[in-house]
Structure 1
C-alpha cells in the first residue's frame, strides 16, 4: 500500500530554507534565504494536514488554493502545482518572498495551533514558481482573440500590473503609464533586493511587454495627460499607490541629514541597477560610516535599517513608540534585522532634532496606556525621561499618504474621502466617474502587495464583464 503523501507534520518538523549567515548577508543585497532542494520542498509540503476548512486559504487575500498546491508538490506534480498557484495569483514568486506569511496564511495554519509548527507556505510558493520559470512552464501571454477595447492604467505597481495581466490575457489592449523609468512601482524601487531581487520583477515586466502590454514610462500624469488617457481608452484604472511621506512636526525638522524613507530606498535600489544617483554619490543618501537612526516600526522602517547595515553604517538604531509585540512590521523582519546588527529602542519617540546638519535626536521615553479606538494600547509620554540619541542621518519611516490626485489630474470630480484616498467600490474598483476605476493603496491606504494584486485582478474582471455586457447590448 502506497504511503500517504500528506499529514506528516507529526513526524516531520518545520524547516525553513537555510538562511545565509548575518556576517555574509550584511555585505550585499542578495536575498537572504536559499532555495529549497526538490526533496526538501516535497517534505515540507507533505506536512500539510489538508484541513476540511483551510484557514490558510481563507486568510489569504487572494484565497490561494494552498492545500491543493501543497499536496501536488508533495506528490512531485510540480507543474500542476504551479498551474494551481498561478490560477489565483498573478505573481506567486513575489508573494512567496515578501508577503508577511506570519500574519496571513502561516499565522493561521491549524497545525501551528496544535504546537507542530506551521507549514512553510511562503517558501514552497516561491520554490514552485521559481522552478516554473527555470523549466519554461511560465508561458508568454497569448490571447485567444484580440479585442477592440482598450484600458489605460496609471501606475505600474503590483495592482496595475496584475490588472494588466488579466486584461491582456483576455485580448484587451492595455497601456500602462508610470512616472518612473522602470515598471514595478515599490516592487522595483521601494523593496530592497535582500527581500526581492530585481530580476524577479523585471522578468514579469518583460512577460507583460512581450504579451502586448504597452508601457509609457517617465510619464508623470498631469491634467493634460489625464484628459488624453481618458479620451484614448474605454476604461481607466488608477493604481498610483501612495507616495507622499508622512511628516512630523518637531523642532529641527528640515535640517540636512533628515531624510524620507522613500528617497533613501529608491536611491539604494537605483544603485543596485547600476544607475548614477547624484544624492547617493554625494553621500547624502548613503549611510556608509554614519550613525543612523530610523524612526518607525513598519516594514518600510525594517527595509531602511537593513539597507543601512548593508551600506556600511557605523551604527543603526530604530526608534518605535510602542513595544515589540505591538509593532506593525513583520516579526520575522525584526529578527533578521537584529541578527544583522540593528538595535531597537522600544517605547521611544522623537521630540526634536539637534544640530544643523543633524547631530542627534531628542528622544522621549513612552509607556503603553489604555487601548485607543483601534484596540491597541496608546503610547503615553513618560515625563522627565528624555535623552539625546546621537545621529548623522535620521530616516523618517512614518508611513505614506495619498497625493492630491484631483489637483494633479485637474479632475475635481474624482471622488476622494477625508484621508485623500479615492472612493471606489471595494470589489470592482469602480468610482463615481464613468469608466474610471481605482485599485490598491490609492483606495485602501498603505497596505500589502497581495491586497493590491487582488484589487487589480478583481477590477480587471469587472471591466471585462462590463465590456461583455456592452458587446451584447450593441449586438441587440
Structure 2
C-alpha cells in the first residue's frame, strides 16, 4: 500500500471552497470551487484503502474509488483519470451532482469517527484537471462496423449508451425533441449545480467521436415526427432512453388556479434564460413573489434555490415528512437554508386559496406514524393542524411519471408496467419489440443521473452483443 494513504487519523476533512451565501444568491454560477493544487492529493490521502470498499459497493457505477484516490494522493492524476473514466462516462458531472452523502461518501468506512473522504470533490478535480491538460479524448473505435443504432433521448442514459456504442464501432444517431443535447442536465438542473458549458464540452467530445445528433426531432406518429417503426427499418437496433417527464399532480380545492406551476416548467424557463433564450418577462419567474415549493426531493431543492436567485420576496419549502425522512440530499438542504430558504416540515397542502390567481396555500400539520410495508413511517394528520402560507407562486415538485409511449408512438406491442415504465428483459435490456431496447428512468422510474449512466452503459453492452451475435430463433420468438 502507498505510504501516502491512511492520513485520516492526522488530516481533517476539508471540502472545496464554497462561495458565501450572499454572493451566490446573486447569480447562477456553481457554488463550489475546485480544490487548490495539492489539496486534492492531501484529501485523497485520507482514504483508508479498506479491504471491502463500501464506497465502490454503494456507487451505482461501481467506480474504483480507492484506486483513483491512491493515484491522486501520489500525484498521478492522468492515471487517476484513466481509472475514473473506465467505469464512468461523465465523472465531472457525477462529481458535481451526485448525492455523495447518500452514496459513496455516506458509506465511507471512516465516516463515523473521522468524517468521510471528499470523494465527489476529488472526482471533479481529477476530471477538470484532465480536461485542462488535454488528457480527455473521444473514445474512437478500433474498427468501424456496418451496423447502426438509433438512440431516442439525449439525456444521461442515451449519451452514455451512445458513447459506448460508438466506441464499439457502431454508427450512432441520437434523436431528441429538444434543441440542445443533455436532457435534464441542461433544462432540469440549475447552473449553480452544473454549469452548462460542462455538458456542452461532453457534447463536443461525442460529436468528435462520430455520434450524430438529430435535435428538435420528436418520435411519434404526428406531423413532423419520426415513427418508431421507421427507426426500426433504418437502424439495426433502437434504444429508448427518453427519461420521464410527466409531472405528478396534487389535487384539492383551487389546484388549477393560475400561479400554480410544475417544477420542470419552472426550471426549464429559468435555465433557458441563463442560456440566453428569450422568455417573456415575469413568466414562470419568482422575482418579488412569495414562493411556496411543495416537495422534498432534489427537484424541490433546485426550485427553492432558483427562486432565491430570481429575487423572491420569500421562499418556503412545504414537505409532509421531517428532515430525517426527506429524500433530497442533506447537503442541498443545508445549502438552501444558508441561502435563505425556510423549510416547513411535517406539513402537506390541503387547498389552494385565491379567486383569479393563487394567493395562499392552506396546509395540514402532519405527524409520523408506524412504519408501512416498505419500512418507511406513515404520515397522519394532526387534529386542528390547519394553517395558511401566503403565496404568489406555488411550484409543485412532486416527482415524475412516464409519458404513455405506446399511445404516443402508435406502438401497441411495446409493453409497459402498471406504472407506465417500459418492460425489459433485465439481463438483455430488450423490450417486447424485437431489436428495441430501453434504459434509464423510462425503465426504472425517476431516479439519479448516476443510475441513468449505469443503465446506458449496460444497455450499450447488450445491444453490441445482440448485433454481433443475434439471438437464437427460439429465443427471439418468445
TM bucket by the smaller chain? over 0.9
Q: Distance in 2 between matches of 1:104 and 1:471?
A: 36
Change (3 A) 1:98 1:3: closer
1:432 corresponds to which residue? 432
State yes or no: 1:180 paired with 2:178.
Answer: yes
1:254 corresponds to which residue? 256
Give the superposition deviation at 1:470.
Answer: 4.0
Give the unaligned 5+ runs of structure 1. none
Q: Distance in 1 between matches of 2:260 and 2:313?
A: 17
Aligned length: 468
Q: 1:168 aligns with which of 142, 159, 166?
A: 166
Alignment of 1:126-165 (within 5 A): 126-165=124-163
1:390 corresponds to which residue? 390
Question: Alpha carbon RMSD of aligned pairs, Å?
Answer: 1.4
- String of CA shifts for 1:419-476, please: whole Å, max 9, x gaps: 0000113343211211011100000000000000000000101111122224999xxx
Q: Distance in 1 between matches of 2:8 and 2:427?
A: 37
- String of CA shifts for 1:94-129, please: whole Å, max 9, x gaps: 00000000110001000113x011000000000000
Whether the aligned pair in 2 keeps the contact of 1:5 and 1:74 (CA below 8 Å) is yes
Whether the aligned pair in 1 keeps the contact of 2:2 and 2:70 (CA below 8 Å) is no
- String of CA shifts for 1:277-303, please: whole Å, max 9, x gaps: 23xx2x130100000000000000000
Q: Distance in 2 between matches of 1:179 and 1:277?
A: 19
Q: Distance in 2 between matches of 1:233 and 1:169?
A: 17
Q: Distance in 2 between matches of 1:250 and 1:69?
A: 51
Change (3 A) 1:7 1:409: same
Q: 1:268 aligns with which of 270, 282, 286?
A: 270
2:207 corresponds to which residue? 209
Whether the aligned pair in 2 keeps the contact of 1:48 and 1:67 (CA below 8 Å) is yes
2:13 corresponds to which residue? 14
Alignment of 1:247-396 (within 5 A): 247-278=249-280, 281=281, 283-355=282-354, 356-396=356-396
Paired residue secondary structure (2:151)? strand
Q: Distance in 2 between matches of 1:233 and 1:49?
A: 48
Whether the aligned pair in 1 keeps the contact of 2:359 and 2:391 (CA below 8 Å) is yes
Alignment of 1:55-70 (within 5 A): 55-70=54-69
Paired residue secondary structure (2:31)? coil
Paired residue secondary structure (1:44)? helix
Q: Distance in 2 between matches of 1:231 and 1:430?
A: 17
Q: Distance in 1 between matches of 2:250 and 2:53?
A: 43
Change (3 A) 1:3 1:86: closer
Give the superposition deviation at 1:38.
Answer: 2.2
State yes or no: 1:231 paired with 2:247.
Answer: no
Change (3 A) 1:427 1:93: farther
Q: Distance in 2 between matches of 1:408 and 1:438?
A: 16
Whether the aligned pair in 2 keeps the contact of 1:427 and 1:455 (CA below 8 Å) is no
TM-score (norm 2): 0.96
